Structures are given as structure tokens and as C-alpha cells.
Chains A and B, each alone.
Chain A
Amino acid sequence: MIEGLQRLGRATLFWFNRLGRATLFLLRLLGALAALGRRPGLIAKQLYSVGVLSLPIIAMSGLFVGMVLGLQGYANLVDFGATSSLGTVVALSLVRELGPVLAALLYAARAGSALTAEIGLMKATEQLAAMQMMAVDPFARVFAPRFVAGVIAMPLLAGIFTAIGILGGYFVAVQQLGVDSGAFWSQMQAAVRLVDDVINGVVVKSVVFGWVANWIAVFEGYDAIPTSEGISLATTRTVVNTALVVLALDFVLTAIFFGA
């Protein structure tokens, strides 16, 4: 019993300690943002790395998720003769939930893990220490550009995921299952609202998810034990923690934006 409490206490202290260090890290990161204004090229390079190179997995996943939504929606709506609402079902599912959430999870797996491994390896091979000894602040030169690029890329990737998902749903519903094209688009247009659904759903959610996912990814790399096992653990933690935090935050944001 006492031993169990001790373990719980140690684990609690460990997590609060990490949260404190992660918060201090974020504050230093934000302090380094001002210097980035003079170096837009650093952000552009990272945008390519975390954004453009994530496009194939985002586009393919969006397409398949949209196609599945089209199939599932049709199978359920056809019993009620409501297949004309399929466009609304596909669009609202993607815009409000699946687009930002799945894009964030895929981003964590593709780009977040790569960020952690890259920074962890830079630490293990003394590249960060060398940078410091050259009087170059790694927060301004390495961490901040990656963080900002990730926060910019996330809503763009979520938007692309959502748009391609809707096209996937259209392909299955209209081209394969014979749903009326006009009904598909007009019902969608009537039901999906710009601010309430698109802005709150895709934009705000994915900016929040992007902030959290990149904060976790960059911090885990910075905080990694500089060994092969330490970097492996840090990379795993990035994916697992990002997934958990994104799903928990999704519930909170959904309750705020779409709750009764």
C-alpha cells in the first residue's frame, strides 16, 4: 500500500517536473520568435519539411476517410430515403471532427516524430552544443522555426485533408452509388456554416492541435536522453502524448464550439 503510494507520488512528481520544464521551454521558445522575423527563410525550409512532405499521407488518408464516410453514410441513410443529405453528413463529419483530428494524428506520426528524432540526434551528436559554443541560440535557429512552421502547416494540412475527404465522399456517393450531384452539393452548402463549422472546426481546432503537437515534438527532442534508446523513447512519447492530448483537447473544443 505504502509502496504503491510512493510510486504514485514519484510518478506525479515526475510528470509535474516535466510539465514545468516543458512550460519553461515554451516560454524560451516564444521569446525567440522575434528573431525569426528577420529570417523567414528558416521557416520556409521547415514548412517544406513538415508541410509539403506530409502532403502525400494527408491527401491519401483524406481520400480514403472521405470514401469510407460516403459508403457508411449511404448505407445508413438509404434506409430512410435521405441519401440527399449525404453531402452534409460527409462535410460536417470532416469539417468539425475528422479533418482536424486525423490530420493532427497523422502529422504527429509523420512530422512530429521526425522533428523529435532530428532534434534528439542533433543533441546526441553535440550539434546543439556546438551551435551554442558558436554563440548561436538553438532556440532561435533550430526550435522556433520548426515550431512556427508546424503551427502554420497544421491548419493547411487539415484543410487539404478535409477538401480531399469531401471529394472522396463525392466520388463514392455520386459517381459510384448514384446520389444526385446537385443534392449532394446544395445540401452541403446549406448546412455547413463558415464561422461556426469551418473556422471553429478546421481552423481553430487545427491551430490548437498544431501548437500542442509541435510543442510536444520539439520539447521531446530537446529533452531526450542523448542515446539511441533515449531518442527512440522520446519519439514514441511524441506520438503517444500528442495523440492523447489532441483527442482530449478535441473533446474540450467540441464541447465549447458545438456543445448544447
Chain B
Amino acid sequence: MSATVPASPHDPPDESPLVIARGLTFHRGDRAIFQNVDLDIRRGGITAIMGPSGAGKTTLLRLIGGQLRPDAGRIEVDGACVHELGRRELYQLRKRMSMLFQSGALFTDLSVFDNVAFPLREHTRLPENLIRTLVLMKLEAVGLRGARDLMTSELSGGMARRAALARAIALDPMMIMYDEPFSGQDPITMGVLIKLIRTLNDALGLTSIIVSHDVKETASIADYIYLISDGLVVDHGPPDALERSSSAWVEQFLHALPDGPMSFHYPALPYAQDLSLE
């Protein structure tokens, strides 16, 4: 019989990447979303996946979470090849990872309290008074302890994201994936979310993956950034290194320049020809 020995505080930290993608290829119909992509997500850090709309950022999170299967290549999370796991093993792995959806994806028939309590009630046999304590601690962390009795329809967009964040950390996961956490938020809410993501990551010892095209906000808290476009990793590195990149694409994306390698126009016939002037 084997026993798992808990990590000692004196053990050296695990330096291996938490998520490893090698030769990742994924198509939607005939369109290649990823072609032979390699990337590593470092433990304990905040890694940002950035790129223009439609670059496949959300798809990457779904591949890491095992909701989609790659056409080729492999994705490992904490040493387990996600798409080779059976449903039971995949669900065991998912108990240790969380995802914050772009919409929040709160359950609309439950209150804020019950939403946060949901994973605890589903996966633990804790008594209700202990669940109450845990839920209030999670809600306190995101500043919504006073909103516990509200229904999700009564929350603003920013409050819904924070409630979803409280639910995401309910089971103390090893990793949280954030899908466009800042989109559609006012500057104050955005600032709150930025601070929360950084604080929670450091305080809880999480590994965070942020998918976003909000360059400034994401770069301000990311330890490492992958830039993806047209199915490829265009560049990657720490934010300050990418700032110094000589790539025209990177410069256009990071500084939101209208002209550059990325065309403003969707591919079309010549303008004059389309207007029948030729």
C-alpha cells in the first residue's frame, strides 16, 4: 500500500511548470485555431495569454480544462495528460482547478451565498455551520460578505465577477483560469479585480492564467505573457521584456496601433472593384 507523503515546508519548491502544452494543434472546422503550439505555465505565478479577438484564448483555457480535446499534441496539468484522463480522473483534477468565466456563470436560481457554497456542498460532507463559515470567509475576501443574500440578478457586472471569484476559490484550488476578467468593467471595478487577482494569487499560493486583450491591466499583474495570433505563439516573456521586443506585431498589439502586421480590414476584394469602379 502506498501513502502520499505531504510536502514539508523544508522541501525545495516544485520548479516544474504546472501546465505544459507541447505540439498543441486544434481546429474548428477547416480553421486552425492552434498549430503546433508549445507553452509552459509556471507554478505560483500569474501567466497572461493575450492576443486579438478570435485568436483562440478562451479555447486554450477549455483545452487546459479538458472541455475540448486537441487534434494533436498534448496538454499536461500537474503531470496528468488532461485529454487522456477518464471522466472520473478528469473530475478529480478539476476539483483542484477553477475557472472564472467571462459571464461569471453564476447559477441564476441560487443566491450569492448558495453559489459560493455550491462546490462545497457538492464535494465535501462538511456540516452546514462550517460551510457557512467558509462561504463568509470567501465572500469577505472579495468584499461581498454583505451581499450574501442577494440573488445573482441583483448584482452589478463587477459584483457578479467577484461572486464568481469567491466561488472559484471555494475549494482552495491549485490553479484559477480567468477568461476575460476585465472586459466590460468600469475603471474602479477593473482596479478592484486587478488587485484581487494579484492578492488572491499570492495569499493562497495559486497559479493563475489570465486570458485577456486588456493589455495595460493584464500586463500590470502578469509575471509572464504569451502573445498568440493566427494559431501561433507570436512572442512570450516577462512584461518588461515584451515591451522591448523588436517585433512589429508585438509593438502593434501592446500599443494598440491601428496599422501594422495585423490588418484593420477583413480580407476582401479590392475596394474599387467591389464598388464596380473598375
A134, B118: Cβ atoms under 8 Å?
yes
B112 to chain A, nearest CB (A): 15
Residues of chain B with a CB closer than 8 A to A135's CB: 91-92, 94-95, 122-123
The 8 Å CB contact of A133, one of B67, B103, B107, is B67
A-B pairs with lowest CB-CB distance, top 10:
A130-B105, A135-B91, A135-B94, A126-B105, A133-B99, A135-B95, A126-B101, A134-B119, A136-B122, A127-B105
Question: Nearest chain A CB to B255's CB is how many angstroms away?
Answer: 32
Q: Does B229 contact A (CB under 8 A)?
A: no
Are B101 and A134 in contact, with the CB atoms below 8 A?
A: no
Instruction: Determine whether the beta carbon of B119 is less than 8 Å from that of A136.
Output: yes
B65 at the interface (CB under 8 A from A): yes
Instruction: Give 29 CB contacts A-B under 8 Å.
Output: A121-B108, A126-B102, A126-B103, A126-B105, A127-B105, A127-B106, A127-B107, A129-B67, A130-B99, A130-B101, A130-B105, A130-B107, A133-B65, A133-B67, A133-B94, A133-B97, A133-B98, A133-B99, A134-B95, A134-B119, A134-B171, A135-B91, A135-B92, A135-B94, A135-B95, A135-B123, A136-B123, A137-B91, A141-B122
New contact pairs (9) apart from A130-B99, A132-B67, A137-B91, CB-CB < 8 Å? A126-B101, A129-B67, A130-B105, A130-B107, A133-B67, A133-B97, A134-B122, A135-B123, A136-B118
A72 interfacial by beta-carbon distance below 8 Å: no
Are A125 and B108 in touch, CB under 8 angstroms? yes
> Chain A's nearest CB lies how many Å from the CB of B188?
25
**Total number of A-B contacts with CB less than 8 angstroms?**
47
- B67–A134 touching, CB < 8 Å: no
The reply to whether B101 and A129 form a contact with Cβ atoms under 8 Å apart is yes
Within 200-257 of B, Cβ neighbours of A (below 8 Å) are at none
Total number of B residues with any Cβ neighbor in A under 8 Å: 22
A129: B residues at CB distance < 8 A:
67, 101, 105
CA distance A121 to B106 in the complex (A): 12
Residues of A within 8 A of B99 (CB): 130, 133
B133 to chain A, nearest CB (A): 20
Chain B nearest CB from A167 CB (Å) reads 36
CB distance from A137 to the nearest CB of B (A): 7
Among A126, A135, A136, max chain B CB count under 10 A is at A135
Residues of B contacting A130 with CB < 8 Å? Answer: 99, 101, 105, 107
- Report how many residues on chain A are interfacial, defined by Cβ distance under 8 Å: 13
> What is the minimal beta-carbon distance from B126 to any residue of chain A, in angstroms?
16
Q: How far is the CB of A50 from chain B (nearest CB, A)?
A: 14
Complex Cα gap A132–B91 (Å): 8
Q: Give the CA-CA distance A141 to B94 in the complex, in Å.
A: 16
Residues of A contacting B87 in the complex (Cβ-Cβ under 8 angstroms): 137
* Nearest chain B CB to A24 CB, angstrom units: 14
Contact A125 B122 (CB under 8 A): no
Contacts of B97 in A (CB 8 A): 133
Question: Does the CB pair A127–B108 fall under 8 Å?
Answer: yes
The CA of A133 and the CA of B175, in the complex, are separated in Å by 12
Q: Mark B112-126, 1 if CB is under 8 A from A, else 0.
A: 000000110011000
Interface string of B17-44 (1 = CB under 8 A from A): 0000000000000000000000000000
The interface residues of chain A lying within 8 Å CB-to-CB of B94 are: 132-135
Complex: A121 Cα to B98 Cα, angstroms: 22
**How far apart are the CA atoms of A130 and B122 in the complex, in Å?**
13
CB nearest to A140 among chain B residues: B122
Query: Hey, which chain A residues are within 8 Å of B105, CB to CB?
Result: 125-127, 129-130
Residues of A within 8 A of B101 (CB): 126, 129-130
A135 vs B102: C-alpha distance in the bound complex, in angstroms?
Answer: 19
Cβ contacts under 8 Å, B103 to chain A = 125-126
CB distance from B164 to the nearest CB of A (A): 8
With CB as the reference atom, state the residue of chain A lying closest to B99: A133
Q: Considering the chains assembled together, what is the distance between the CA atoms of A132 and B87 in angstroms?
A: 11
Residues of A with C-beta under 8 A to B102: 126
Instruction: For B96, give the chain A residue with the smallest CB separation.
Output: A135
Question: Shortest beta-carbon distance, A121 to chain B, in Å?
Answer: 8
CA separation between A130 and B163, bound complex, in Å? 13
Chain B residues near A126 (CB-CB < 8 A): 101-103, 105
Contacts of A125 in B (CB 8 A): 103, 105, 108
Q: Which residue of A lies closest to B94 (CB)?
A: A135
Contact with B along A12-32 (1 / 0, CB 8 A): 000000000000000000000
Binary contact track B151-194/A, C-beta < 8 Å → 1, others 0? 00000000000000000000100000000000000000000000
When C-beta atoms are compared, the residue in chain A nearest to B121 turns out to be A136
Q: How far is the CA of A127 from the CA of B110 in the complex (A)?
A: 12
Interface centre among A121, A133, A137 (most CB of B within 10 A): A133
> Across the two chains, which residue of chain B brings its CB closest to A125?
B103
Distance, CA A154 to CA B97, complexed state (A): 40
In the complex the two chains form, what is the Cα distance from A158 to B152 in whole Å?
A: 36
Measured between C-beta atoms, what is the minimum distance from A227 to chain B in Å? 14
